[in-house]
Chains A and B, each alone.
Chain A
Amino acid sequence: MKVSRNWLQTFFADELPSADELAELLTFHAFEIEGVEQVGDDWVIDVDVLPNRSSDCLSHRGIARELSTLLSVPLERDPLREVIPAFDDTDQLGVDIADKALCPRYMGVMMRGVEVGPSPEWLKVRLEVIGQKSINNIVDATNYVMFELGQPLHAFDLAKLGQKSGVRSIFVRAAEDGEMITVLSGETRTLSSEDHVIADGVSGAPLALAGVKGGNEAEVTADTTDILLEAASFDYLMVRKMARRHKLSTDASLRFQNEPARQLPAFAMRDLVTLIKDVAGGQYVGGRDVYAGAAEHTPVDVTLGQINSVLGVSLSVDEVEQILVRFEWEFSRDGEEFAITSPWERTDLHEPVEFIEEIGRVWGYRNITSVLPKKPEYAPSVSKQQYYTDKIRRVLAEREYDEVLTYTLSDHGEVELANALASDKGFMRMDLREGLLEALELNTHTAPFLGLDTLKLFEIGTVFRAHGEVLHLALGSKAVSGKQSKADKGLMADLATLAEALGMEITEEAVQDGVVELSVDALLVDLPEPDGYVASSAWNPHVRYKPWSSYPCVYRDIAVWVPAETPSEEVLAVIIEVAPDTLVKHYQFDSFEKDGRVSYAWHLVFQSTERTLTNEEIEPVMTAVTEALNSREGWEVR
C-alpha cells in the first residue's frame, strides 16, 4: 500500500523523521518496503503489507500506529480511540440481511442535500499522491476514509432506490442464478447463487457486488442530492471467492478478504459523515446499524521466560513492559507474567507466540546474538537415496559423463495438470529419455565449442507415472563425429562399470536412440544400507560464471612436430601468444611420438563477443600461428 508521509504526519504533533528513515524503521521492525518516492511536496512510501496485517495496516492510521510504537511517540490523534457519537436510527431506511454469517454488520446512513462536485484541493492531493484518481467529493470522501482507516465504504444515490410508504431499504442477499449487474467500471457480470449482492429492498435490483464493487444502478452523479452511505463487514471467504470468480480485485475486496474488525464500520461512518458535510454539505438524517456483534478480546498470558526462550535474548521484565507501553496495549503484570489484551482492531493476535513476535520485532531482531546449536548425541541416519545418487554421479563423472537437469513439465504424460502454464507444459514427464535426447540434440551444436567428439550425459530425476513417482537414471551418449554404434557400445560398457561400482547387476534393455533409462528406486531396494557419506569436492563456491557469446564460432585444428623433450604447454603458449583474444577455447586431442619427435594436435575455437567471425579473417591468424611455430628450432607444423 502506498502511504503518504504528509498524511502520516497528521497523526503526530512533532515532525516525523524523513521518509527514508521511516522506510528504514519499518523495514527492520515491521514491513518490507517496495520503494520511497517524492511526489510534489510529499513522499510516498510503498509498504508491502502482508496478509497477517492486512486487517489493520492497509490504512494510514494502521501505519501511523506502527510508527508510534517504533518511534516511541504517542499518536496525537487516533480516530480509533475517539468516541463514536450515538447512532440515530431512522424509520426512513430499512436494512435486511439474509445471512448474518456472511454479513455480520451492515451500517447504512442517509444524508440529504449534498452538493456533488469536485473535491477541494487538499483532498484531491491526498488521493492523487497515493496514486488514486479523484472522481467527485462524495466518492473521494469514501476513498479517503478507507485509506485513512482501512474500512471500505460505499455511497449510493438514494433517489435511485425504490420507495415504499416513504421508506427505502437495503437487502443483503444471495444473487439469483443468471442475475446481471453492471459494475461502476462498466463491465456487466452474470451472477450465480454463490454471489452476494447489496440489493434495493423495494425494487429488488442489485446495487453492488457485496464487498467487491458498486454497480451503476445507484451511482452517485452530478445530479445526486441525497445519498445512502454503506459501512459493512462481510465474510472474508465470500468476498474472496467473489473477487476471484469475477476477476475484480478491488481495494475493497483486498481489505474485506483480510477481515478488518467488525467495530471498524462505526468509526469509519462517523468520519465519513463528518467529511462529507465538510466537502459536500448536506444533512445527516440517520440510518440503520444491523450488527451481530464482535467477540471480545480476552487477555493472553505470556511469560518473560517464553519471550526470551523463543527470541533467544535476555530481556528484563521492565524492558518487555516498556515495549507493551509503547504499543499502548492493555496488560497486567504479575512478577514475570504478563496478561496482554490486544486492541479490538488487531484481529491477528491470538497465540502467545504472536505477542512474542510483536515484542521481538519492536525490540529488534538485530539484537539477537547468534548461537550455534549443540550437536546431538545421536548421529543422523544416512539417506540411502542421497548416498547412492551421489555415488552414481561420481562414477559417471569419472567416465566423462556430464550431468544435466531437464524440465519436469512436458507436453504429454500420465499425470496432467489442471492449470498448465503453457500448452506444451501441461503434463509431468513420464521418463527422462525425452529430456535427455533434447539435451543431446542441443549439445550437438555446443560439442565442437567444448571440444567433445562424443556427448555423454546423464540425469537423475523423478518421473511421474499414473501409479506414482519414481526416481530414474538415464544415460545418453551421442557421437558428434564418428559412429553412433561405437557410442552405444561405450554406453553399455559404462553401465557395466556403474553396476560393478555399485556391486550389483544392472539388467537393462538395449540402448535406444543412444539412451538407456532405469529405475533408481528399484536399484536401491537391493543395495545395502550405507554407513556414512563420502566427502565430495564437487561444490566450488569460487567459480565465477562467464556468459558465452551468441555469435558463431570458427574452428581450426593444428598439429605440430616438436623435439621429444618439448612439453605440450610450451607449444600451446606460443599459439596463445600469437593468436588474438578471439581464440576462446583450445583442446589438445592428440599426442604421439615417432623417430625422436612428438606430435601434438589441438582443436582451436575462435569466437567474438561482438560479431560473426569470417573464415577470411582467421586465415591470416592461422598463417601467423604456423609461422611462429615453424620459426622455432626443430618445430614443424604438420
Chain B
Amino acid sequence: MKGHVHPISAAITRINEIFEKLGFEFAEGPLIESEWYNFDALNVPHDHPARDMQDTFFVKDKEQAVLRTHTSPVQVRYMEKHGAPCRIVVPGRAFRNEATDATHEAQFYQVEGLYVDKGVSLAHLKGTLEHFFSEFYERDITVRFRPGYFPFVEPGVEVDMLLTKSDGSERWVEVMGAGMVHPNVLRAAKIDPEEYSGFAFGGGLERLIMIAAGIDDIRMFHTGDLRFIHQF
C-alpha cells in the first residue's frame, strides 16, 4: 500500500500544473509579512476601514509585522523583483484572527493568481478562471462575476461557479474574489498603470477541495487524522 499525499498538497501540485501550461510561474513569499506588503502596498492604507475586512494577527515585539492575511502580498513582492509582464500562481498558507468553526480556520490556504501585461482585461480573467476550474474539476465549469470590493482591485468582482449536483439541479457557489489590479498596487510595485494592466484572483484552497469532495468541515484538513487523509 502506498502512502497518501495530503489533498492540499495534491491540489497545489495540480493547480501549478494547470497554470504552468498557461505560462504562470509558481511564486511564494514569507508568512510573516510587513504591514506594507500585506496592506499598504495593496491599497489598504493604515487605519482604513477596509483593514477591518480581515482580522489580523500581529507579531509581538516586531514593528509592523503581521501573519499574512492573504497570499496577495506576493503580488507586489514578485512585481517589484521581476517587473511586467508577469504571470504567477501563488498557493500558500495565510492566517486570520477569527473564531474557528466548520467554515473558518485561523490558518488556511489560499490560491492567488496574477497576470500583468499590456491589454489584460476582465474577459481574460473570466477565461482563465473557467479554464482553471474546468481543468481542476475535470468537467466544464461556468463562471460568473458579481460586483465586489477588495481594495487591491478595481473593478473588483466576486467569482461564482456553477455546480451541477448529481440529481441534475444547479447552484451557484461563491469561490473567489478577483478583479483588475488597482493602479495603486501597480504603482507600489513601480509598474506604470498607463502602460500595463493586470488581473488578480484569490480564494480559499480548502474550499475548492471541499466543493469537489463534499467535505463539510474545514478543520478536517489540519487535524492530522489519517481517516481523512486516507480517503484521498
Asked whether, in the complex, the Cβ of A402 is within 8 Å of the Cβ of B146, the reply is no
Contacts of A376 in B (CB 8 A): 23, 85, 87
Give the Cβ gap from B197 to chain A, nearest Cβ, in Å. 6
Give the Cβ gap from B134 to chain A, nearest Cβ, in Å. 11
Contacts of A357 in B (CB 8 A): 147, 154-156
Determine if B81 is an interface residue (Cβ-Cβ < 8 Å): no
Contact status of A541 and B229, CB under 8 A, knowing A311-B122, A365-B144: no
- Tell which of B34-42, B54-62, B69-77 binds the partner: B54-62
Asked whether, in the complex, the Cβ of B213 is within 8 Å of the Cβ of A361, the reply is no
Give the Cβ gap from A425 to chain B, nearest Cβ, in Å. 7
Determine if A127 is an interface residue (Cβ-Cβ < 8 Å): no
Determine if B49 is an interface residue (Cβ-Cβ < 8 Å): yes
B62, B98, B127, B149 — which one has the most chain A CB atoms within 10 A of its CB? B149
A380 to B50, CA, bound (A): 34
**Which residues 170-210 of A have a CB within 8 angstroms of B?**
none
Determine if A40 is an interface residue (Cβ-Cβ < 8 Å): no
B153-166 interface code vs A (CB 8 A; 1 in, 0 out)? 01111100000000
Contacts of B9 in A (CB 8 A): 389-390, 393, 403, 405, 460, 538
Asked whether, in the complex, the Cβ of A425 is within 8 Å of the Cβ of B146, the reply is no
Contact status of A32 and B16, CB under 8 A, knowing A357-B156, A380-B23: no
Give the Cβ gap from B89 to chain A, nearest Cβ, in Å. 9
Asked whether, in the complex, the Cβ of A371 is within 8 Å of the Cβ of B20, the reply is no
Determine if A247 is an interface residue (Cβ-Cβ < 8 Å): no
A450 to B2, CA, bound (A): 13
Determine if A552 is an interface residue (Cβ-Cβ < 8 Å): no
Asked whether, in the complex, the Cβ of B106 is within 8 Å of the Cβ of A421, the reply is yes
Contacts of A409 in B (CB 8 A): 106-107
Determine if A329 is an interface residue (Cβ-Cβ < 8 Å): no
Determine if B190 is an interface residue (Cβ-Cβ < 8 Å): no
The closest CB in chain A to the CB of B144 belongs to A366
Asked whether, in the complex, the Cβ of A450 is within 8 Å of the Cβ of B10, the reply is no
The closest CB in chain B to the CB of A313 belongs to B123
Contact status of A544 and B128, CB under 8 A, knowing A446-B227, A536-B13: no
- Among B10, B24, B30, B232, the residue within 8 A (CB) of A380 is B24
A535 to B20, CA, bound (A): 11
Asked whether, in the complex, the Cβ of A542 is within 8 Å of the Cβ of B154, the reply is no
Asked whether, in the complex, the Cβ of B146 is within 8 Å of the Cβ of A543, the reply is no
A257, A354, A408, A460 — which one has the most chain B CB atoms within 10 A of its CB? A408
Asked whether, in the complex, the Cβ of B10 is within 8 Å of the Cβ of A539, the reply is yes
Number of interface residues of B (CB under 8 A): 104
A419 to B56, CA, bound (A): 9
Give the Cβ gap from B19 to chain A, nearest Cβ, in Å. 8
- Tell which of A46-54, A88-96, A220-228, A269-277 binds the partner: A46-54
B61, B117, B213 — which one has the most chain A CB atoms within 10 A of its CB? B213
Determine if A398 is an interface residue (Cβ-Cβ < 8 Å): yes
Determine if B231 is an interface residue (Cβ-Cβ < 8 Å): yes
Asked whether, in the complex, the Cβ of A402 is within 8 Å of the Cβ of B226, the reply is yes
A201 to B47, CA, bound (A): 31
Asked whether, in the complex, the Cβ of A538 is within 8 Å of the Cβ of B154, the reply is no
Asked whether, in the complex, the Cβ of B127 is within 8 Å of the Cβ of A370, the reply is yes
Asked whether, in the complex, the Cβ of A542 is within 8 Å of the Cβ of B138, the reply is yes
Asked whether, in the complex, the Cβ of B154 is within 8 Å of the Cβ of A368, the reply is no
Determine if A291 is an interface residue (Cβ-Cβ < 8 Å): no
Asked whether, in the complex, the Cβ of A450 is within 8 Å of the Cβ of B223, the reply is no
Give the Cβ gap from B190 to chain A, nearest Cβ, in Å. 18
Asked whether, in the complex, the Cβ of B93 is within 8 Å of the Cβ of A402, the reply is no
Determine if A353 is an interface residue (Cβ-Cβ < 8 Å): yes
Asked whether, in the complex, the Cβ of B25 is within 8 Å of the Cβ of A383, the reply is yes
Contacts of B154 in A (CB 8 A): 351, 353-354, 357
Asked whether, in the complex, the Cβ of B49 is within 8 Å of the Cβ of A257, the reply is yes
The secondary structure that dominates the B interface is: mixed
Give the Cβ gap from B207 to chain A, nearest Cβ, in Å. 14
Determine if B119 is an interface residue (Cβ-Cβ < 8 Å): yes
A354, A382, A401, A419 — which one has the most chain B CB atoms within 10 A of its CB? A419
- Among B13, B25, B123, the residue within 8 A (CB) of A539 is B13
Determine if B215 is an interface residue (Cβ-Cβ < 8 Å): yes
A443 to B226, CA, bound (A): 7
**Which residues 396-431 of A have a CB within 8 angstroms of B?**
396-409, 415-421, 425, 428
Contacts of B227 in A (CB 8 A): 446, 449-450, 548
Determine if B218 is an interface residue (Cβ-Cβ < 8 Å): no
Contact status of A398 and B225, CB under 8 A, knowing A28-B146, A240-B47, A383-B26: no
A473 to B112, CA, bound (A): 24
Contacts of B58 in A (CB 8 A): 417-419
A243 to B197, CA, bound (A): 38
Asked whether, in the complex, the Cβ of B145 is within 8 Å of the Cβ of A368, the reply is yes
The closest CB in chain A to the CB of B121 belongs to A312
Determine if A373 is an interface residue (Cβ-Cβ < 8 Å): yes
Contacts of A421 in B (CB 8 A): 57, 97-100, 106
A357 to B150, CA, bound (A): 13
Contacts of B136 in A (CB 8 A): 539, 541
Asked whether, in the complex, the Cβ of A417 is within 8 Å of the Cβ of B60, the reply is yes
Contacts of B16 in A (CB 8 A): 383, 386, 533
Give the Cβ gap from A278 to chain B, nearest Cβ, in Å. 34
Determine if A464 is an interface residue (Cβ-Cβ < 8 Å): yes
Contact status of A545 and B146, CB under 8 A, knowing A371-B124, A397-B4: no
Give the Cβ gap from A365 to chain B, nearest Cβ, in Å. 4
Give the Cβ gap from B54 to chain A, nearest Cβ, in Å. 12
Contact status of A442 and B67, CB under 8 A, knowing A361-B155, A397-B3: no
**Which residues 448-489 of A have a CB within 8 angstroms of B?**
449-450, 452, 455-457, 460, 462, 464, 469
Q: List 18 A-B contacts (CB under 8 A).
A: A29-B147, A311-B122, A353-B180, A365-B157, A371-B123, A373-B124, A390-B13, A397-B5, A398-B2, A418-B57, A421-B99, A428-B32, A535-B17, A541-B138, A542-B138, A543-B213, A543-B231, A545-B220
The 8 closest A-B pairs by CB, nearest first: A312-B123, A312-B121, A439-B224, A357-B155, A539-B14, A538-B10, A365-B145, A370-B127
